[in-house]
Structure formats: structure tokens, C-alpha cells
Amino acid sequence: VKKKGGQYEKQARPVKQAAVLGAGIMGGGIAYQSASKGTPILMKDIKDDAIELGLKEARKLFAKQVERKKLTTEQMAEKLTNIRPTLSYGDFGHVDLVVEAVVENPKVKGAVLTEVEGLVGEETILASNTSTISITRLAKNLKRPENFCGMHFFNPVHRMPLVEVIRGEKTGDAAVAATVAYARAMGKTPIVVNDCPGFLVNRVLFPYFGGFSLLMQQGADFQRVDRIMERFGWPMGPAYLLDVVGLDTAVHAGEVMAEGFPERMGSLGGEAKGEGGGKSAIQAMFENDRLGQKNDKGFYAYE
Ligand code: NAD
């Protein structure tokens, strides 16, 4: 951890218009949170149905606020207009900060970031919501790496207070300052961290998932492990948490972590290393399209 966010904010350029790339679990949540706290946001995806799902989720969250009498229906309608769904980059010329939240794949993220960098203004900040991929690595092909940093939200975005703001080798102070200020404007608690695969939280979390994966390989019952971790005092066990994260995202992120820290990580994807051997149960579930809550079937079944 480098510095607390507050030290950067004095220099921050305000984010008046934001954009998010990807309308999935995270992109939808980021759009809702930004809209809810009053910063207009463009929500771009490559698929119509993803946009629909992102909007549906935002509507559901706003409707809950109405139910709890925290918003009137008029206020809800007004806040919803802060989210502008789109399949094109048409209005990206006027965006102050773009959060990239597409699939956890370095090649896809690299291509998307290069593409959007060519369309935005010279001072626009690009921030990646990657869970694990080094910011320095993602900055490799950017023309303005000083304008790029990590902005790592946690799932579900509307409930989790923490945001990791990650400073890559070439990230400039202005990018950190604007991202910290935007996170605060969204009602979050930003911390500024150094760059490495998994940053701070996932460096702690992924070895835990790896340990769970090895336990499963040795025949442990996932429901019992979940129950025991809940008794230990955690809000949910590893199997349920993996369903929330998405098994596809966990496998991809696990690959990045295993590459970064081979000595510390059991493998979530591919062939599990160490005791047990063979294919990891998490990889097998991913290959069988059991992706967790996003498609209603993971360790558990959802409606
Ligand atoms: P997701 O699969 O729910 O959504 C990804 C979305 O990106 C999809 O809607 C897909 O259509 C879209 N997409 C793909 N290529 C695109 C492109 N070129 N332009 C625009 N959209 C594109 O995934 P997610 O769980 O929302 O994860 C997104 C990112 O956030 C990943 O980097 C992930 O590691 C990170 N993240 C995930 C979690 C989590 O718990 N799921 C938590 C923190 C960070």
C-alpha cells in the first residue's frame, strides 16, 4: 500500500462523464453505482443481451431503493437516465474516465484498451477493473500509459466499499488522483496500491481458492467446507463465493495468479498441480458451462 487516497485528491480533475466497457456482473454494477451517485455513465458492450442484463440489474437495484423509500419513482427514473447504454463508441470523445470491465483475458483487454485510447481525448483517464492482470503489463501497447491505472471494484459493486486504485510503472499522479476522486464520488473507499498480479486483495484471496480446490480434489464436500467457513465467521464459504465471482472469471484470474506466483498457488484451471493431480473440479465445472450465479448453475443451483 503506497499512500492513502486522500493525499491525491487535491490534484484531481473531476469526472463529469464516465464510461464503462462491458455490461456484465461488474460493468452493470459500476454503471448503477455511478448513476446512483450522480455521475452520468455510458455503458458499452458488444452484445445487445449483455446490455439488457446490465440495465435489468440496475433497474432492480433502483427499484429496491424505491421499495425502501430511499428514492421516489421520479428520482429513480431520473437516475436511470444517468446510464446510457450503447453498442458503439460514438460519444466517447467527451468522456473523462473510462473503466474497462470486459472479460479477464490479457489479449482481449489489451485490444479493447488500445482501441478506446484512439477514440478518447488526450486527457481521458483509462482504468481497468481487472482482478489480477498487472497494470504495467496491460499498459504495454498504450500510447499514454501515464493516463492508465487500475480501478478494481469488488462484487457486488453496490455493497462492497473497497476500491483498489493500482499504480502501474508508468501511471501518472493525475490518473491516480482522478480515479481516487471518482471512487469517492461513487461512495467508495479507495486505497492506492502497487502493481503485481492480484494486487492486494486477490493475492490473499486466490491462494485460499487454490487451497479449496486442492481440498476438493482430495474428496472434500464443498457444502461442508462452506458451512465450516461460515461458522469460522466469514460471510460465505469458498464455493458460494466462487459462484458469485463466476467460475469463468475465477479460472482466468487463477491462471494469471498461478503464472505470477507459481510457488504459492494451487491451480484453479487446467491440471491441478501438487497433491491430488488431475483436472481441478473448478476447471471441470467451467468446461461444463457451470459458471455460477451468472447462468444460474455453479456449485449451487439458482433460479
Ligand atoms: P462478465 O463475464 O459478467 O462480463 C464481461 C462483459 O464484457 C460481457 O458482457 C461481455 O459481452 C463484455 N465484453 C467482452 N468483450 C467486450 C468488448 N470488446 N467491449 C465491450 N464489452 C465486451 O464478467 P465480470 O465478472 O463482469 O468481469 C469483468 C471484469 O471485472 C474482469 O476483468 C474481472 O476479472 C473483473 N472483476 C470481476 C469480479 C467478479 O467478482 N466477477 C470482481 C472484480 C473484478
> Residue 253 CA: which ligand 1 atom is closest?
34
Q: How far is the CA of 153 from the centre of ligand 1 (A)?
A: 12
CA distance 6 to 108: 33
Q: Is the beta carbon of 26 within 6 A of some atom in ligand 1?
A: yes
- One-letter-per-residue 3-state SS of the chain: CCCECHHHHCCCCCCCCEEEECCCHHHHHHHHHHHHCCCCEEEECCCHHHHHHHHHHHHHHHHHHHHCCCCCHHHHHHHHCCEEEECCCCCHHHCCEEEECCCCCHHHHHHHHHHHHCCCCCCCEEEECCCCCCHHHHCCCCCCHHHEEEEECCCCCCCCCEEEEEECCCCCHHHHHHHHHHHHHCCCEEEEEECCCCCCHHHHHHHHHHHHHHHHHCCCCHHHHHHHHHHHCCCCCHHHHHHHHCHHHHHHHHHHHHHHCCCCCCCCCCECCCCCCCECHHHHHHHCCCCEHHHCECCCECC
Backbone angle region of 150, left / alpha / beta, with phi > 0 → left and psi within -120 to 50 → alpha = beta
Mean pLDDT of the chain: 92
| pLDDT tens, residue by residue, 176-186 | 999 999 999 99
Assess whether 152 carries a catalytic annotation: yes
Grid cell at residue 18:
464516465
pLDDT in the model for residue 3: 52
pLDDT in the model for residue 110: 97
Q: How far is the CA of 131 from the centre of ligand 1 (A)?
A: 10
> Residue 28 CA: which ligand 1 atom is closest?
26
**245 class by beta-carbon count within 10 Å (0-12 exposed, 13-18 middle, 19+ buried):** buried
> Residue 115 CA: which ligand 1 atom is closest?
18
The structural domains of the chain, ordered by start, are 6-194 (3.40.50.720), 201-293 (1.10.1040.50)
ipTM value > 0.90: yes
Q: Looking at residues 165-174, what average pLDDT do you find?
A: 97
Query: Against a cut of 0.90, is the pTM above it?
Result: yes
Cβ atoms of 298 and 291 closer than 8 Å: yes
Residue 269: which pLDDT band, with cuts at 50, 70 and 90? Answer: low
Residue 301: which pLDDT band, with cuts at 50, 70 and 90? Answer: very high
Q: Is the beta carbon of 226 within 6 A of some atom in ligand 1?
A: no
CB atoms within 10 A of CB 48: 11
Q: Catalytic residue among 94, 152, 158, 252, which?
A: 152
